Amino acid sequence: MMKHLITLPLIAVTMLLTSCGDKEKKTEATDTAAVVENPFFKESTLAYHTPDFSKISDADFQPAMEEGMKQNLAEIEAIANNPEAPTFENTLVAIEKGGQLLTRVYRVFNLLSGANTNPELQRIQEEEAPKMAAHEDAIYLNSKLFKRVETIYNERANLNLDAESVHLIEYYYQHFILAGAKLNDTDKDKLKKLNGEEASLTAKFTNQLLAAAKAGALTVDNVDALKGLSEGALEAAAKTAKDNGEAGKWQIPLQNTTQQPDLQNLSDRATREQLFNASWTRAEKGDANDTRATILRLAEIRIQQANILGYPNYAAWKLQDQMAKTPEAVETFLNQLIPAATAKAKREAKDIQALVDKQKGGFTAEAWDWNYYSEQVRKEKYDLDENEIKPYFELNNVLENGVFYAATQLYGITFKERKDLPVYQEDVRVFELFEEDGTSIGLFYCDYFKRDNKSGGAWMDNIVGQSKLMNTKPVIYNVCNFTKPAPGQPALISFDDVTTMFHEFGHALHGFFASQQYPSLSGTNTPRDFVEFPSQFNENWALNSKVLKNYAKHYKTGEPMPETLIAKIKKASTFNQGYSMTEILAAADLDMQWHTLGTNDKVTDVDAFEKEALKKTHLDLAQVPPRYRSSYFLHIWANGYSAGYYAYSWTEMLDHDAFQWFEENGGMTRKNGQYFRDMILSRGNTEDFGKLYRDFRGRDAKIDAMIKSRGLLE
């Protein structure tokens, strides 16, 4: 996942932070002292301006945020009230150069509030979010500023600017329009109130869900209930329980998705059901962590926002600057996949039920049985056991000899670990990247293990963005949620986890190879239905024979994975894809149905709406629940993927079509890697993405390669 929390010096952050609170007034002397001591008030002197985490305390964030907003608004007012005629330099370039303090502090805050939060950061998050929403409104709804932008936009053909600069003009103009710049003052005021409330509620949702997931962990006091788990997994569960004040018990924390990894191995059916239900109902307990009232109000607000701006629904508004453009285009795309995906899922369900019956189980397989029995079906059909694979996937080896190695083969870049730079948590590692000629590229932070104070899922973002205008190189992080092994044990991960590492580093490459003049157009600052393309494309190299042989080595013996096992993995690559595709499509469809609600659509019951929505599109397969339920769908309620979760499937189409080009042109070669870097990874948001893809591929993307790769044509 790509977290777009800060994309502009304008600070277009409407997502992570949230609720209003007035700060106490301080004396001038206190403010001066705070400025001197606060590490955010000056650029970091560390390499690449990376933050010095050893000097940052929780108390630094709020003063820096407040001062950052104050400084940025002063800059904006100076631009808007400039008596000189508007020019590209004195308006748009000036905006691009502004807000540096605010960008610095928010990028670090976004990292920590997602990956290493605490009650103080959560308080700040809820207090500052509506202020940030108001700050953004003060920029985009500034009539004088918009008039200058509009003047430049109307004159853009005669300004003799390079293509990227012209695109920046068009980019800003569209963002101002979509933000409501042409509204009358009354409607602007209404929109501002809704934006502030939405910001508060998204932060509330984030914190509710984090608490709900922590409280929802399955705790057992009899180890027999966990039969099927490995010794290492049991040790980790015992340690987790002890760390959470439950010594002598075993605790399985919840992942962000509906299905939980341990369901694959738990042989006790009652325990499987308990774990599944703990996941399914985590945010629906009727307590303070119940998210349903929060999302009902969010859905209402989004309808009202869209209506004020003249759109029939939220999706119609939000898709204007995406590749898809309209909800109808998304619906057409999803409908091409749903019949084939659900048909294959139903065939897979029959295989699972047949195995249950063969074993005289005496029950109809349910959602909590799927992973357990599908793993057995996989063993039976393909003679492939996940536990046979894991010893060959030790996390650090996968990272350095798999993920990094693939990048070196394709793009010529190399990596050197930096142990001299402060990190925000002991498990974090830092690497410096270099071009083939030794030129430095940037810094990469990786944070792979699950913690109770870390949001679920996996994501990438920048701490420092690339920009020739600002003379900055990228500092990028990947965050995941893999189970941390007990002390002294290796971190053995599943092939799904391996794929996640390649995926998130694909986002990182998109950011590292950015070569833009302007921060707003740099790297991963692209539409949702393009930004997942480089990351999903990078997943393909996890199973590349050359790469796999380099990293798939037994953690004890160092022996490479046998060819017979590699062949089994590849042969089984389309196994369970009906399930996998259906759960993703169900989540994407839920997202679109929530965000195509109109003024006359009144939803009062989240669960009833969800049930009816899935039924309407024939995605209501009891054994194949959506990857995310509405009540714990962090992507769409707080992480910027509202009306955008379809992007994972849309960009999967791009990724398979692009990989087909590689296969047609010689596969993994430096020449092909450089071409992909030049045509896709280095281009940022500098032109229309349909044209960008056509220039690379020679035509529009086709869905055929995706359907074939998923094995949906059987």
538/668 Cα distance (integer angstroms):
11
């910001």: which residue's tokens?
199
Q: Which three-class secondary structure state does DSSP give residue 481?
A: strand
* Residues 72/104, Cβ–Cβ less than 8 Å: no
590/584 Cα distance (integer angstroms):
10
Contacts 24+ apart (CB under 8 A), 158-166: 159/88, 161/88, 163/686, 163/687, 164/516, 164/517, 164/518, 164/521, 164/686, 165/88, 165/517, 165/518
Q: Which of 165, 12, 170, 173 is nearest to 89 (CA)?
A: 165
263/266 Cα distance (integer angstroms):
5
* Residues 449/485, Cβ–Cβ less than 8 Å: no
Q: Which three-class secondary structure state does DSSP give residue 657?
A: helix
Q: In angstroms, what CA-CA distances link 195 with 65, 130, 138, 305, 458?
A: 19, 8, 12, 8, 27
Q: Which of 495, 488, 478 is nearest to 395 (CA)?
A: 495
Q: Which residues pair with 430 in a beta bridge?
A: 445
682/31 Cα distance (integer angstroms):
42
- Please state the separation of Cα 631 from the chain's center in Å: 18
262/278 Cα distance (integer angstroms):
13
Q: E strands within 450-567? A: 459-464, 475-482
* Exposure string for 372-393, b = 16+ CB within 10 A, e = fewer: bbbbbbbbeebebebeebbbbb
Q: Measured on CA atoms in the order 415, 417, 420, 422, is the torsion positive or negative?
A: positive
Q: Which two tokens stand for residue 442?
A: 């940037």
Radius of gyration, alpha carbons of the chain: 25
410/669 Cα distance (integer angstroms):
6
Q: Which of 652, 651, 631 is nearest to 258 (CA)?
A: 631
As annotated, the active-site residues are 504
Phi, psi of 8 (to 5 degrees): -135, 160
With helix as H, strand as E and coil as C, how does 277-307 read? HHHHCCCCCCCCCCCHHHHHHHHHHHHHHHH
Q: In angstroms, what CA-CA distances link 76 with 98, 104, 166, 172, 576?
A: 8, 18, 21, 14, 53
306/317 Cα distance (integer angstroms):
6
Q: Which of 98, 95, 75, 92 is nearest to 152 (CA)?
A: 92
* Residues 522/466, Cβ–Cβ less than 8 Å: yes
115/691 Cα distance (integer angstroms):
36
* Residues 315/592, Cβ–Cβ less than 8 Å: yes
Query: CB 95: neighbour CB atoms within 10 A?
Result: 26
* Residues 227/238, Cβ–Cβ less than 8 Å: no
